[in-house]
């Protein structure tokens, strides 16, 4: 495993790999090394030694850190100043901010605050040519050049080794209140989430745990939260009176939604990204085949466990205008089913051209996604 301490050492590692025809698998905490095809013939390039905060300006709500800094460390530092990442990144212990950005991770508040790509202001990295480059800026207002920070979010280590990242922060809401309706049927749970999102109540997050709970979260200052709570309870009276939970009481319910944590760990886990209005209809045939799920982002994100039926899962997601990612599965299944939803031919050709621009010889192509046997 390569463990460089700076960009210059990464450039050297990339140059050696290019010269020797080796492939490099970039990683931070490697907590998702089991994502995608197994048995990749690649040398690991760990960002673990590129760790630490470079600059943090609480007054400007901007932070620059090395990409291998753990989420735990970052969250602790910004929380001590009453701030946080509005997109609520999450991951297993050891997850790094570079891994979170490359995996395009966001938590429950994504539905109201946007995703990681809405909060990454800039980055520095090393391309597949072995060259250091910068994109974006350390200020919120920046309008020059291509918006490369958007491109690296969800790039899964295929474009660039991020070495430094600059992110926007927000003050932590002083109050977080969760309204919880117990035991609503699926149709009612989805309808409630949809109606809540359309109310002038600035809903922060909305989730449905089938058979258990439908959750609506309100973030903000006390009097504002109280007024919005009263409004929502009246507007959603047809679903019954909800319980009101404080942040600590509600934490277990929200944690159950993250990464499908509430679901049995044995069957393959899928992550479906769907238009909320179509989500329930899209998954109903999958539930009839034994699927279990939890819904987050007001129905826009479905974590589903179901053995077999891979083609049906992908077809249902596609027909609804969404896509299905194979988030967790045995190695045998990951060897034959691409983790990421196959793209339409035109989009796939475009993605390939973008990858070639950053990585002409395919040094970051490890065949993890079963769509890149050779760099052309």
Ligand X SMILES: Cc1cc2nc3c(=O)[nH]c(=O)nc-3n(C[C@H](O)[C@H](O)[C@H](O)COP(=O)(O)OP(=O)(O)OC[C@H]3O[C@@H](n4cnc5c(N)ncnc54)[C@H](O)[C@@H]3O)c2cc1C
Sheet holding 62-66, edge to edge: 53-57, 62-66, 160-168, 120-127, 132-136
98 lies in the binding site for ligand X (CB under 6 A):
yes
The nearest distance, CB 9 to ligand X, in angstroms, is 14
Among 103, 201, 205, 302, binds ligand X (CB under 6 A): 103
294 lies in the binding site for ligand X (CB under 6 A):
no
For ligand X, which is the closer residue by CB, 104 or 338?
Answer: 104
In degrees and rounded to multiples of 5, residue 217 shows phi and psi of: -110, 135
Closest listed residue to residue 251, CA positions, set 86, 112, 107:
107
279 lies in the binding site for ligand X (CB under 6 A):
no
106 lies in the binding site for ligand X (CB under 6 A):
no
263 SS3 class: coil
User: Please, what is the angle between helix 310-319 and helix 276-288, to 10°?
Assistant: 160
For ligand X, which is the closer residue by CB, 188 or 370?
Answer: 370
For ligand X, which is the closer residue by CB, 36 or 173?
Answer: 36
102 lies in the binding site for ligand X (CB under 6 A):
yes
The nearest distance, CB 196 to ligand X, in angstroms, is 25
Closest listed residue to residue 371, CA positions, set 347, 348, 346:
348
DSSP secondary structure letters along 275-340: -HHHHHHHHHHHHHTT-EEEEEGGGTEEEEE-SS-HHHHHHHHHHTT-EEEEEE--HHHHHHS-SS
Closest listed residue to residue 337, CA positions, set 56, 35, 122:
35
Query: Which residues lie below 8 Å from residue 231, measured CB to CB, with a gap of 6+?
Result: 199, 200, 201
The nearest distance, CB 264 to ligand X, in angstroms, is 14
- Say if CB 190 and CB 296 are below 8 A apart: no
Choose the stretch contacting ligand X; rule: CB under 6 A; options: 156-164, 178-186, 246-254, 291-299. Answer: 156-164
Among 3, 31, 273, 351, binds ligand X (CB under 6 A): 31
Q: Give the integer Cα–Cα distance in Å for 341 and 270.
A: 11
**Tokens standing for 349?**
């050709």
The nearest distance, CB 220 to ligand X, in angstroms, is 26
- Size of the residue set binding ligand X (CB under 6 A): 32
Query: Which residues, numbered 327-356, are part of the site for ligand X (CB under 6 A)?
Result: 327-328
Query: Which residues, numbered 241-270, are part of the site for ligand X (CB under 6 A)?
Result: 259
For ligand X, which is the closer residue by CB, 156 or 293?
Answer: 156
- Say if CB 298 and CB 189 are below 8 A apart: no
322 lies in the binding site for ligand X (CB under 6 A):
no
Query: Which residues, numbered 38-97, are part of the site for ligand X (CB under 6 A)?
Result: 47, 67, 90-92, 94-96
Binding positions for ligand X, rule: CB under 6 A: 26-33, 47, 67, 90-92, 94-96, 98-100, 102-105, 156-157, 161-162, 259, 271, 325, 327-328
């Amino acid at each position: 495993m390569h463990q460089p301490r700076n960009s210059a050492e990464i450039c050297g590692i990339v140059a050696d790999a290019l010269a020797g025809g080796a492939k490099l698998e970039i990683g931070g905490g490697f907590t998702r090394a089991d994502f995608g095809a197994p048995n990749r013939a690649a040398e690991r390039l760990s960002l673990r030694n590129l760790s630490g905060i470079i600059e943090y300006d609480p007054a400007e709500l901007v932070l620059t850190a090395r990409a291998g800094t753990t989420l735990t460390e970052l969250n602790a530092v910004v929380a001590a100043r009453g701030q946080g990442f509005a997109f609520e990144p999450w991951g297993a212990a050891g997850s790094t901010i570079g891994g979170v950005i490359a995996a395009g991770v966001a938590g429950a508040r994504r539905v109201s605050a946007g995703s990681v790509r809405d909060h990454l202001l800039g980055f520095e990295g090393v391309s597949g040519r072995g060259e250091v480059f910068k994109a974006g800026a350390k200020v919120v207002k920046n309008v020059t050049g291509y918006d490369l920070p958007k491109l690296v979010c969800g790039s899964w280590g295929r474009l660039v080794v991020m070495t430094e990242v600059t992110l926007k922060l927000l003050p932590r809401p002083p109050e977080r209140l969760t309204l919880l309706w117990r035991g609503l049927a699926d149709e009612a749970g989805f309808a409630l989430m949809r109606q809540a999102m359309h109310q002038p109540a600035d809903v922060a997050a909305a989730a449905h745990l089938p058979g258990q709970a439908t959750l609506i979260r309100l973030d903000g200052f006390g009097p504002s939260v109280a007024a919005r709570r009263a409004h929502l309870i009246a507007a959603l009276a047809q679903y019954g009176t909800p319980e009101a939970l404080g942040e600590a009481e509600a934490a277990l319910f929200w944690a159950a939604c993250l990464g499908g944590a509430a679901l049995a760990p044995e069957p393959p886990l899928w992550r479906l990204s769907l238009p909320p209005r179509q989500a329930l209809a899209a998954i109903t045939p999958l539930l009839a085949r034994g699927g279990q799920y939890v819904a987050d982002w007001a129905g826009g994100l479905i974590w589903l466990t179901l053995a077999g039926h891979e083609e049906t899962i992908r077809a249902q997601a596609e027909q609804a205008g969404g896509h299905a990612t194979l988030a967790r599965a045995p190695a045998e299944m990951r060897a034959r089913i691409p983790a990421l939803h196959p793209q339409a031919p035109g989009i796939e050709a475009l993605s390939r051209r973008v990858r070639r621009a950053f990585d002409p010889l395919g040094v970051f192509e490890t065949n993890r996604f079963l769509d890149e046997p050779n760099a052309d």
